[in-house]
Chains A and B, each alone.
Chain A
């Protein structure tokens, strides 16, 4: 490096490794935080603190109480006392390990969200994803001369998009199922609730695809984030959705109430699913198009057509009486 007019030669016997990750250029600044970050600021705030304080006090009281109780039992009868002690010990241990696992998983999810906005390298992402087959594929297509940006692009388009595809397929299936279920049920509102509850499973499946393990709290946190995103950050997206669905707005007015409800449930499910994708993806959508609703809507409608005899309004009145019977078959 001393004299720029001379090339520096190195011994060829020295061990050298194939370049697996080229240094990124300094221009790589952190980019737009993903939607995962969007509502992160919405915090429980003051109330949460008081609540936590109350809980801690109550918990301490409970622990002291139970210790006192066990001691009392010991004094009465050694055998019974030790039984109680073992019982409490096991419960405490279980609780503790549960808590540790929960915090760990929650921390992992949070760390992931933080990372998502830091333009992680493909190798880091692969670590998060835990898909050995994709790792193999990445090794195959990766070129040593790529810049960090090129790497990210190729990784997203050639590797990550495969998971996106699987996730989108899952969402389509669940959305269609939800749509059908709500559409044929006589208690649409109730079913809506059931569907939401069932969506838990979908969320776990998607999260799993992206290598995210969900504990209870992590799940709650995810749900909260999902809703927060739908309500707060999703506003602009809703506008986009409306734009995309604008063609079919006229269609919506023609739909029968049943089909409308079904479609609504389906779209809501899909919306949940897409949110989860964005939250679990190790990087935000850049070169790959976000999964869209347009095709989904078509799928949903065709699904509805297969379960509902009458999807459109005009004929619904005529057939209102018979429809329920047919549905039962």
Chain B
């Protein structure tokens, strides 16, 4: 492709953005929250919108104004395309499985062609286009964004606070003693070597945390390095001790941290995250409930940190062109297919309570937001036994067909006694064939209507 063509492509994007015909949707969520599944579900529903009865809440479809949707490569040609076909293949092969955890950034563009409903456009144009950009990325990297706003010392303090928690402290114990002994013997000429070893120890610790399903793991590239595997840029760690950093190390650690901020996180942010104008925040509430009190608290903290990294506001024309901000947010509890329908309301309510602080801030800034419970790909069937028990039919990890009694969902943030009891939720596997198209979902139509509806009038 020639430079000229590329320029043309990008100019068109700017024009579209100016006319407000371009949505860059930030699908935000930690690793395992269900980003890939949700994006796949959204694409699936959009592409097959006119062949399904599953989208009654999606008005443009319901009013029969949707001409169709088509996939495109994004204007950012250095980024690989989101492998929608691959994901669908995974879900519908002979032995269906979930798509793998994402390892790299990918992007996809959908063009939605529709008939305008009213207003001047309705009279003048017979069809219109809305461009939707979706970006998939490893959830681990998302947690790097909050680092942009923290200095090394602030970050270290935050991490020290986290390390006080029981589970983390236990995992970090051996590393902490190593840091302690090395710090006592810190010297200028051995500094490089010592730091490299300690950084590698920190990385082991992060990996262990991840195995224990802890969520707030920073820096994200240490958990999933991508192309940075073994690079010196990763040779740092937060200062974990209350004593001061040895002089020989302080400068080096701060420098590495700053380098990481400027050369790893900033480009990532600039390239993918800066131009978002709508956001879907995915939260895997059920998994956190199952993992226990500590994880639940950490999830709340992580959401809090994350949402600070995005700028919210109203998109005036000038802002749309220069640096768009997010003007609508959907807070979404995922995997709603693992509980009974009558509990969806509770799940939504729970997420509402969990994100109270963030919602208040959005409210204050007058950013429209709403809470949903959704499944991007619904893998269970809801049935009722003759005695009235609600059960979920699905496929378990051993590819057996199972029937599970609807698990309990708490009404409010669990109390200490509730945590004692604990919660558990079924993990269903997909069991689709190529005939199941479009794949079933839960409430994606409401989500789509909320996120896109106002631009499809």
Name A's B-contacting residues (CB within 8 A): 1, 4-12, 14-19, 22-23, 25, 140-141, 143-147, 154, 157-158
Q: Interface size (B, Cβ < 8 Å)?
A: 37
Contact check, B422 vs A145: say whether CB atoms are below 8 A apart.
no
Complex CA gap A8/B404 in Å reads 6
Contact check, B381 vs A18: say whether CB atoms are below 8 A apart.
yes
* Contact partner, B424, options A5, A17, A23, Cβ 8 Å: A5
* Contact partner, B404, options A10, A140, A141, Cβ 8 Å: A10
Contact check, B404 vs A4: say whether CB atoms are below 8 A apart.
no
Complex CA gap A8/B425 in Å reads 10
**Among A9, A10, A18, A146: residue with most chain B CB under 10 A:** A10
Q: B405 at interface (Cβ–Cβ under 8 A)?
A: yes
Complex CA gap A6/B405 in Å reads 10
Contact check, A7 vs B424: say whether CB atoms are below 8 A apart.
yes
**Among B384, B389, B390, B424: residue with most chain A CB under 10 A:** B384
* Contact partner, B53, options A6, A9, A14, A140, Cβ 8 Å: A140
**Contacts A5-B421, A23-B342; A12 near B402 (Cβ below 8 A):** yes
Give chain B nearest CB distance to A31 CB in angstroms: 17
Q: Which residues of B contact A144 (CB under 8 A)?
A: 341, 381-382
Q: B324 at interface (Cβ–Cβ under 8 A)?
A: no
Complex CA gap A114/B54 in Å reads 33
Determine the residue in chain A with the shortest Cβ distance to B346: A25
Contact check, A1 vs B341: say whether CB atoms are below 8 A apart.
no
Complex CA gap A145/B443 in Å reads 8
Give chain B nearest CB distance to A135 CB in angstroms: 15
Contact check, A7 vs B407: say whether CB atoms are below 8 A apart.
yes
Give chain A nearest CB distance to B48 CB in angstroms: 16
Determine the residue in chain A with the shortest Cβ distance to B344: A147
Contact check, A11 vs B421: say whether CB atoms are below 8 A apart.
no
Q: In the complex, how many residue pairs between chain A and chain B have their CB atoms under 8 Å apart?
A: 93
Q: Which residues of B contact A9 (CB under 8 A)?
A: 402-405
Complex CA gap A143/B56 in Å reads 10
Complex CA gap A158/B59 in Å reads 11
**Contacts A140-B53, A147-B341, A147-B342; A14 near B408 (Cβ below 8 A):** no
Q: B104 at interface (Cβ–Cβ under 8 A)?
A: no
Q: Which residues of B contact A6 (CB under 8 A)?
A: 424
Give chain B nearest CB distance to A24 CB in angstroms: 8
Contact with A along B424-457 (1 / 0, CB 8 A): 1110000000000000001100000000000000
* Contact partner, B405, options A8, A17, A145, A157, Cβ 8 Å: A8
**Among A8, A22, A143, A157: residue with most chain B CB under 10 A:** A143
Complex CA gap A146/B62 in Å reads 17
Beyond A5-B421, A144-B382, list 6 extra A-B contacts (CB 8 Å). Answer: A7-B425, A10-B391, A14-B385, A16-B383, A147-B341, A147-B344
Which residues of B354-397 are within 8 A (CB) of A?
A: 378, 381-386, 389-391, 393
* Contact partner, B383, options A5, A7, A17, Cβ 8 Å: A17
Contact check, A11 vs B342: say whether CB atoms are below 8 A apart.
no
**Among B336, B341, B421: residue with most chain A CB under 10 A:** B341
Contact check, B401 vs A22: say whether CB atoms are below 8 A apart.
no
Q: B423 at interface (Cβ–Cβ under 8 A)?
A: yes
Determine the residue in chain A with the shortest Cβ distance to B405: A8
Contact check, A16 vs B385: say whether CB atoms are below 8 A apart.
yes
Q: B311 at interface (Cβ–Cβ under 8 A)?
A: no
Determine the residue in chain A with the shortest Cβ distance to B391: A10
The 9 closest A-B pairs by CB, nearest first: A8-B405, A16-B383, A10-B403, A145-B341, A5-B422, A19-B382, A12-B403, A22-B341, A144-B382
Q: B149 at interface (Cβ–Cβ under 8 A)?
A: no
Q: B345 at interface (Cβ–Cβ under 8 A)?
A: yes
Contact check, A158 vs B56: say whether CB atoms are below 8 A apart.
yes
Contact check, A25 vs B342: say whether CB atoms are below 8 A apart.
yes
Complex CA gap A140/B383 in Å reads 18
Complex CA gap A154/B53 in Å reads 12
**Contacts A9-B405, A154-B56; A147 near B442 (Cβ below 8 A):** no
